[in-house]
Amino acid sequence: MKLTDLITPVALIDLPRMQHNIERMQAQVASLGATFRPHVKTSKCVQATEAQIQAGAQGITVSTIKEAEQFFAAGIRDILYAVGLAPSKLAAAAALIGKGCDLKVLTDSVQSAQAMAAFAKAQGLNFKVLIEIDTDDHRSGIKPESAALLAVAQALESPACEIVGVMTHAGSSYDLNTPEALIAMAEQERAGCVRAAERLRQAGFACPIVSIGSTPTALSAKNLEGVTEVRAGVYVFFDLVMHNIGVCTKNEIALSVLTSVIGHQEEKGWAIVDAGWMAMSRDRGTQKQTTDFGYGQVCELDGKVLEGYTISGANQEHGIVSRAGQPDLEIAKRFPIGTQFRILPNHACATGAQFPEYQALDAQGTVQTWSRFYGW
Amino acid sequence: MKLTDLITPVALIDLPRMQHNIERMQAQVASLGATFRPHVKTSKCVQATEAQIQAGAQGITVSTIKEAEQFFAAGIRDILYAVGLAPSKLAAAAALIGKGCDLKVLTDSVQSAQAMAAFAKAQGLNFKVLIEIDTDDHRSGIKPESAALLAVAQALESPACEIVGVMTHAGSSYDLNTPEALIAMAEQERAGCVRAAERLRQAGFACPIVSIGSTPTALSAKNLEGVTEVRAGVYVFFDLVMHNIGVCTKNEIALSVLTSVIGHQEEKGWAIVDAGWMAMSRDRGTQKQTTDFGYGQVCELDGKVLEGYTISGANQEHGIVSRAGQPDLEIAKRFPIGTQFRILPNHACATGAQFPEYQALDAQGTVQTWSRFYGW
């Protein structure tokens, strides 16, 4: 199959770019002495994940139990479920462990630790648990110096629950856009998580794993002393938010939406395409950044960026392509009906999730279908 | 199955509310003398669409060829594909017609009309075509008084293309929030589309169908003279955007996301739930309206609105529940880990699309699974 055979809209993976991104991250983390555990919530795709493992990744990170089930069924055993385990999911987690999955789960509260311990004891099983650490005051987790850290560790009650480590995610790195600030946040993430591990070890817990990461901090870190593994997700595709943060160029963005021109409003300088917000997702992550790309950056069919052209507005199945500044009153001649574009997305995790499958485009220009799945 | 058996997050349909919404719209349109053709892009679900047809709907509207294929396979013949037909989709549209589907397609340009006519002639088939009219300067379509209207009609070249009508969608009704403005927009939508039909008829084209509609204008119209059919989609579920526009109450919103508390940040007054933006969608449609509901309105498990509590922030699989104004420092006691909520969405079309299936909850409190499909 060729690109021009596809019925648009289509989620397109540029395979050489994806492979470059995978190797870049793997080399960065390895050079600092840690292992790498990709967060596969971004692709939800077995083939993309296999490419990460082939490049040296050790284990994966997932954001839902369904992802764990799907990737375990595809042959991956070492899985970290990096969202606090709700009581209603204890049975599903236990079932995976019972089938031989080396599943690690997460908690950040005494309430949930007690629920895990009680369930594990009643079922006669063992949960491997990481304690979630809050290193940037952003979302979930326990502060490294908090008394709650040891209280949760005690509530986990060996041997029903084995404390295998600590984990943090400096999600506030998404709000930064200078190398200095990113390097500082990476160090804050590292230091806070290492400190929490030290406190647990001083209290007699082994805590072998120290797991940190986000795409911006992973690519900015200068030192990973005390860290055993790094996690990152969106780097596999990158996107315009990451471009604005400063950790990739537009030409490294591996995911795009292939779309076709279906109409024009010539006097407004608009081309209407069949990628609206259902295809691009409603993610407007670049809105509050230094460059707002609307619903995406328009590129030619071969991937060349059309500077200044974005999806400036979107309805469910309609996108409005226009030029920033002066309207392009020649747009109907320049891009007649049937013209195909690639649109780079604001947020690859959100855009990928709008599609049941990817079309993976290789360097020879042929495409193959890679399926992806829902997270629940 | 009961609600408490479900592993969250789940897209929940409150069936009595959905049925009420269906009957309300059907009665409104029938009372004004038009037929009703629901836009099923909202639910993408056979059972929900069957409920609309049972209540009196005549034919359906779809936003993609895949939706047309899926609903035709489910036994629905009369289908309007209400997005301008791209050249790459001509073959798929023709294949549906060849199987017996009474498919109607859309154009608003000479370029695309010529492509349709050339394809139909070459294939020896007939496309039933509606011409898209722009009645609110919002998106696609031809202005009612434009010379392009007759040029497109001529380009369609009978008998390869039969002009079966005109169609408009006053999408700018979504920017309004008073009954007066909505009534005026409904009249503008009606008058513009009827005028376009008159011009076509004066030029010798039969133009039997005059199709208008959006949920806000359909529910606000006082007069449908000259209109043959009305279309609307999101009314089947309603959502917080529609609530802010003023066409439904919170208690009419039939779609919600069932979620569980997985953690807290007590000193911030936060409960963390397992419905993040992946479950709610990234749609922040209420952000620019008079009341901003963040990523959704929090309700108790039985559907009772918890006034002031919203999903105030979201990551991919984490939502932050907080109270507007004064933080709720008792939130961990009030809503302990495992507490289930229903979250009303900003935009039902976007939220539904995040899920592979709905759980349909009847008045007796039992749920059954209704599958839904992707649009491509």
Residue A1 has pLDDT above 90, yes or no: no
CA distance linking residue B230 with residue B217, whole number of Å: 10
**B354 vs A contacts (CB less than 8 Å):** 353
**B336 vs A contacts (CB less than 8 Å):** 111
Contacts with B39 (C-beta within 8 Å, 6 or more apart), sequence order = B60, B61, B62, B63, B82, B213, B231, B232, B233
> pLDDT tens digits, residue range A237-281?
999 999 999 999 999 999 999 999 999 999 999 999 999 999 999
CB atoms within 10 A of CB B7: 17
Residue A224 to chain B, least CA–CA distance (Å): 25
Q: At B74, is the secondary structure helix, strand, or coil? A: coil
Instruction: Flag whether the pTM goes above 0.80.
Output: yes
- Summary mean pLDDT of chain B: 97
Nearest to A262 by CA among B267, B52, B93: B93
CA distance linking residue A281 with residue B277, whole number of Å: 11
Question: What is the average pLDDT across A169-196?
Answer: 98
ipTM summary value: 0.96
Residue A236 has pLDDT above 90, yes or no: yes
At A21, the pLDDT band (50, 70, 90 cuts) reads very high
DSSP state of A286: T
The phi, psi pair for A239, rounded to 5°, reads -170, -175
pLDDT of residue A47: 98
pLDDT of residue B1: 82
B16-236 maps to which CATH number?
Answer: 3.20.20.10
Instruction: Cite the residue boundaries of each domain of chain B with CATH code 2.40.37.20.
Output: 248-371
Q: Topology of A16-235 in CATH?
A: TIM Barrel (3.20.20)
**A262 vs B contacts (CB less than 8 Å):** 83-86, 112, 140
- Summary mean pLDDT of chain A: 97
Instruction: Cite the residue boundaries of each domain of chain B with CATH code 3.20.20.10.
Output: 16-236
Residue B30: CA count within 13 A, CB half-sphere = 10
**A41 vs B contacts (CB less than 8 Å):** 316-317
Question: What is the average pLDDT across B230-235?
Answer: 98
Contacts A–B by Cβ distance under 8 A: 156
Interface contact flag, A263 B108, Cβ < 8 Å: yes
Query: How much of chain B, in percent, has pLDDT values that exceed 90?
Result: 98
At A157, the pLDDT band (50, 70, 90 cuts) reads confident
pLDDT of residue A161: 97
Question: What is the average pLDDT across B343-368?
Answer: 97
pLDDT of residue B343: 98
Interface contact flag, B89 A7, Cβ < 8 Å: yes
> pLDDT tens digits, residue range B28-82?
999 999 999 999 999 999 999 999 999 999 999 999 999 999 999 999 999 999 9
Nearest residue on chain B to A262, alpha-carbon basis:
B86
Nearest residue on chain B to A39, alpha-carbon basis:
B316
Query: How much of chain A, in percent, has pLDDT values that exceed 90?
Result: 98
Interface contact flag, A88 B7, Cβ < 8 Å: yes
> pLDDT tens digits, residue range B140-150?
999 999 999 99
Question: What is the average pLDDT across B261-270?
Answer: 97
CB atoms within 10 A of CB A194: 21
pLDDT of residue B157: 87
Q: Tell the CATH superfamily of the A248-371 domain.
A: D-serine dehydratase-like domain (2.40.37.20)
DSSP state of A173: G
At A14, the pLDDT band (50, 70, 90 cuts) reads very high
Instruction: Cite the residue boundaries of each domain of chain A with CATH code 3.20.20.10.
Output: 16-235
